[in-house]
Amino acid sequence: MNDKLNFNQIQLVSLVLLRILIGWHFLYEGVIKLYSPSWTAKGYLLSATYMEGFFGWLASDSMISFTDTLNIAALIFVGVSLLLGFKSSWGSIIGIALLIFYYLAHPPFPGYPLGPSEGSYWIINKNLIEAAALFVIFLFPTSSFVGLDRLFVKKEINPSTT
């Protein structure tokens, strides 16, 4: 797939910059939660306004430790993956899944109360926008050009040069 992508310099720099910025955001969110001993997703999950049963189950006493650990691990994996350009397609997919979960817990749908947020939203919020940006990174991977994945790209041998 990467062999068919042909970016000009500005496109490549823009996509790599987008990948790094989102990677930084995910990594920071994961690390800050890891080093905040009192942090838990329980309050966020229990205040869900959509799919309350599912998010309530994730916040239950038997699940919350697993949910918190998985959330932190996924945030850090996505962040490192995107920053280093290593398995960034997997990082993008996992990041999209996380953001869709965050979106569905407190969707800015008409008629639903707004959850914890920094502003006012209607249908589209920051989680959905960042998920769309990760989808762009997934569709236009740059880690085989700028990133550790470059070390693992198989080089095709041109028979005319041998």
Q: What confidence tens digit (pLDDT) does each residue in 15-38 have?
A: 999 999 999 999 999 999 999 999
CA torsion sign for 95, 27, 102, 46 is positive
Provide the 8-state DSSP code for 5: -
133 has pLDDT over 90: yes
* pTM for this entry: 0.88
Q: H or E stretch including 102?
A: helix 88-105
Q: Which of 47, 21, 1, 39 is nearest to 129 (CA)?
A: 21
161 has pLDDT over 80: no
- 3-class DSSP state of 45: helix
